[in-house]
Structure 1
């Protein structure tokens, strides 16, 4: 599929054995790709959902300079193209976003409030980390526009999961970006984070926001902020004590995925 700027956007389609009961879109995190969520998709197809999982521009198998997106709208516009090209008449439409994909998913839900029947955010990147000085939060968007390819910071693989096998697979995965995050992508992500406090009161989509309490890559306070500020009446926030960033890849993943599928099933009947 051609993305909004001509990049080829590759996406996986996971089909249930019989006719789908609904559609779930998956938005992966920064530097990774959709194939890392095959086990999540399998849990969803077992329940009858059609699962559509794109690689964002500049990520995984999709086109574009690696992690080179400088405008967050590129992500949400490409996602909307995938959504619009998918037959959603089969049932309710849900969107799951992890990490930066959580920021993409939240922005998408705010930009397109009539498209989704439910939103699930996993370790969403909604607020800068406490270790980032306030002056850098203010400077990052301008720096990203001035010198977008300046290497800024790297994501430590050890913070992904407490499971050493997950960390080793992440480090060995050739489709994962292992370099530093360019200032352009980092700046536009931080800029988008800054819009959420004012926009969250307009969020009316039923939302489940879940986060590892020991997450060092995406600030759990952003998820707590969503719980305080979201305008909809159907908002559930759950923090898992001691879990790292990728809660779908932690030793407790079965319990986490059960929480997600239980929530989806509860909302499928009202979607």
Structure 2
């Protein structure tokens, strides 16, 4: 079933911000993972944009989650580019399994490097990521410090959620090695958003995975947190983080402390007490988008 098939998404228009909004250019450039999987690319294209924003989606969703935000950026003369990671969205690979976050980081860097060859030199580059996409953005910022003008993060996953006990974390690491495809925990879709349409959107979306989390996926995320933690102090890219107080999927205090301890002078932590994890579908999204547009505009003026 195509994501453009109205039989499923039309009823979500007016309720889910991205419903019925599509990237004008898809599959516009060749991109493959190290396993040879073809990765599906997207963009809102401008020949001479005032900036380029690269978007990085979260776990088990697709870049389509950002289409409304992308359109708003495009209306400000900003080119917006994205792609689905392997085993996500329209990219090749079976939905629901993550082998390593390093692969996603490397593909992100490769996509940026290939894409900017199609735009005027010295066009300001920004990166934006949600959840796992925030993990990816942090690592890209560390590898491309001199190239990235700024970073926008929605509920970034920088550490395991406090709901995971030390025992469960150890168990996840072991199962990820011994039984990588073993189904573990079913996702709690209700806890993702206060939007009453969010659960149905997730369940019906053919580009999303809503089955039980595979053991390898959990261990891959934990390993990425371990590798990133000692490097966080080296981030020098200006950033703004949007975080909800009712987010049960990430470690809110780790995110807050990262901001407090960061040596970056141009930094901001925007906190919404009632907001949950799926920022793009939360009631605050319009206010957040306005803040994002202003934040980026101020850094390219």
TM-score range, shorter chain: over 0.9
- Aligned counterparts of 2:163 and 2:298: Cα–Cα separation in 1: 38
Structure 1 counterpart of 2:95: 66
- Aligned counterparts of 1:258 and 1:266: Cα–Cα separation in 2: 12
Structure 2 counterpart of 1:52: 81
Structure 1 counterpart of 2:178: 146
> Which has the larger displacement, 77-86 or 230-239?
230-239
Partners of 1:98 and 1:122 within 8 A in 2:
yes
Q: Which runs of 5+ in 2 are unaligned?
A: 1-30
Structure 2 counterpart of 1:255: 287
Residues 146-193 of structure 1: CA distance to partner in whole angstroms, max 9, x if unpaired? 221111223211122211123322221111101111111111111211
**What pairs with 1:234-245 in structure 2 (closer than 5 Å)?**
234-245=266-277
Partners of 2:153 and 2:240 within 8 A in 1:
yes
**What pairs with 1:3-18 in structure 2 (closer than 5 Å)?**
3-16=33-46
1:158 is aligned to 2:190: yes
Change (3 A) 1:226 1:163: same
- Aligned counterparts of 1:205 and 1:139: Cα–Cα separation in 2: 35
Q: 1:38 aligns with which of 42, 67, 88?
A: 67
Partners of 2:158 and 2:229 within 8 A in 1:
no
1:63 is paired with a residue whose SS is coil
TM-score, normalised by the number of residues in structure 2: 0.84
Q: Which runs of 5+ in 1 are unaligned?
A: none
> Which has the larger displacement, 193-202 or 183-192?
193-202
Change (3 A) 1:230 1:152: farther
1:208 is paired with a residue whose SS is strand
- Aligned counterparts of 2:266 and 2:45: Cα–Cα separation in 1: 28
2:197 is paired with a residue whose SS is helix
2:275 is paired with a residue whose SS is coil
Residues 62-96 of structure 1: CA distance to partner in whole angstroms, max 9, x if unpaired? 01232323211110111112111112526210110
1:23 is paired with a residue whose SS is strand
Q: 1:213 aligns with which of 245, 253, 257?
A: 245
Partners of 2:163 and 2:248 within 8 A in 1:
no
Structure 1 counterpart of 2:32: 2
Quick check: which has more Rg, 1 or 2?
Answer: 2
2:271 is paired with a residue whose SS is strand
Residues 166-225 of structure 1: CA distance to partner in whole angstroms, max 9, x if unpaired? 332222111110111111111111121123331111000111111111112223223212
2:53 is paired with a residue whose SS is strand
- Aligned pair count reads 268
Q: 1:167 aligns with which of 191, 199, 204?
A: 199
- Aligned counterparts of 1:192 and 1:138: Cα–Cα separation in 2: 15
Structure 1 counterpart of 2:23: none
